[in-house]
Amino acid sequence: MKIVEVSSKAEIKKFHQVPYLIYKNDSNWIAHIKQEVETVFTRGKNKYFRHGSAIRFLLEDENGNPIGRVAAFINEKTAHTFKQATGGMGFFECNNNKEAAFKLFDACKNWLEQRGMEAMDGPINFGEKDRYWGLLVNGFNHPPIYANSYNPDYYQQFFESYGFKTYFNQHNFLRPLNVELPEKYLKRHERVKKNKNYSLKRIEVNKLEKYAEDFRTIYNAAWVTHDNFKGMSKEQALASIKKIKPVMDSNLIWFAYYNNKPIAFLIMLPELNQFFKHTKGNFNLWGKLKFMWYKIFSKPKFVWGVAFGVTPKFQGVGMESYVLNSAAEHLRARLPHYKDVVITWIGDFNPKMMHITKSMGAKNYHDLKTYRKLFDENAVFERSPIIE
């Protein structure tokens, strides 16, 4: 077996071939879109290269056939905020061979150590946490959610026997739309609904600039206390709304107002893997045509909860009940083909959000882990801090 750094077009092609070898007998598996994965490793397309670096490795057998792959990366903005300087590894795929898996892990560890790192998290993404993040450890009987992790069950043993420890647990939830919210949430919904100062509107596709500005207003107020917060500009907000326009269903995006001022949003989309599974991981022209065909003519079952935000002044007044229940009532009455809402993902470092989600009747769909490997075996391991 030989480790090869991915650099040529032929090696990039092999990198994308590996998952098809691993999952060829897995009927649940849905391939990530290779063009989107490639964007992660393309300077000029991934902003994380402005303050970081990445490398990819292939593992080949004696005949030059790929049997595994992995990537390692460093985000200089966050690497030194931990007790141990921490890089990352991800996009791991490997046949059921512990020696092969350890060779891939060693390649990442060595590369990171040479650059001053003392630990690595994995499997994670060289980018935002909303995609390619974590290792699936439960829920293998369910197909993967768009851009979320999916893997064979034997990967867990590889990670843990190598010395990775759980940094935090992640949970994707599923909630049936045809089941009403628990009574306490229905009472909150009715209380807010009776107040004529509140109103609720679905997004209007011909007024995207107006709703982008409402989105920006709510976002900048609701997320201001989060770490590394940077206010969203008008241009960023409009770009975010336009980005989801091709897959948008106006029945799934809602804005709440108090005296006509925006105070909350709920953004949902059809769960995209219901369409992407037909593209076989390739979003070329033919793949795009297939995607649009199924988007227009199929009736998707799953709704994907993308984002929910409430301005601080209106948190704790029942706004989540008002918005979520109103949206669910609308879907039950008008679009009954939508059966379940998928909520991705919530970490166990956020117990408040975990409690709210479960109290609304959501059940675990996928359970994942983000691991951390300390290179000094004698160093004290600490789990991710809890959000108070």
Domains of the chain, start order: 2-168+369-374 (3.40.630.30), 178-338 (3.40.630.30)
pLDDT of residue 231: 81
Is-above-0.85 flag for pTM? yes
pLDDT mean across residues, the chain: 94
Reference 257, options 207, 218, 308; nearest CA is 218
Dump pLDDT digits (tens) for 269-312.
999 999 999 999 999 999 999 999 999 999 999 999 888 899 99
pLDDT of residue 353: 87
pLDDT of residue 206: 94
Dump pLDDT digits (tens) for 130-188.
899 999 999 999 999 999 999 999 999 999 999 999 999 999 999 999 999 999 999 99
Q: Over the chain, what HEC string results?
A: CEEEECCCHHHHHHHHHHHHHHCCCCCCCCCCCHHHHHHHCCCCCCHHHHHEEEEEEEEECCCCCEEEEEEEEEECCCHHHCCCCEEEEEEEEECCCHHHHHHHHHHHHHHHHCCCCCEEEECCCCCCCCCCCCEEEECCCCCCCCCCCCCCCCHHHHHHHHCCEEEEEEEEEEEECCCCCCHHHHHHHHHHHHCCCEEEEECCHHHHHHHHHHHHHHHHHHCCCCCCCCCCCHHHHHHHHHHHHHHCCHHHEEEEEECCEEEEEEEEEECCHHHHHHHCCCCCHHHHHHHHHHHHHCCCCEEEEEEEEECHHHCCCCHHHHHHHHHHHHHHHHCCCCCEEEEEEEECCCHHHHHHHHHCCCEEEEEEEEEEEECCCCCCCCCCCCCC
**pLDDT tens, N- to C-terminus, the chain (388 residues):** 999 999 999 999 999 999 999 999 999 999 999 999 999 999 999 999 999 999 999 999 999 999 999 999 999 999 999 999 999 999 999 999 999 999 999 999 999 999 999 999 999 999 999 899 999 999 999 999 999 999 999 999 999 999 999 999 999 999 999 999 999 999 999 999 999 999 999 999 999 999 999 999 999 998 766 555 678 899 999 999 999 999 999 999 999 999 999 999 999 999 999 999 999 999 999 999 999 999 999 999 999 988 889 999 998 899 999 999 999 999 999 999 999 999 989 999 999 889 989 999 999 999 999 999 999 999 999 999 998 7
C-alpha dihedral (275, 277, 283, 286), degrees to nearest 10 = -80
**Residue 240: partners with Cβ closer than 8 Å, 6 or more residues away:** 212, 215, 232
pLDDT of residue 35: 97
pLDDT of residue 228: 56
CB atoms within 10 A of CB 30: 22
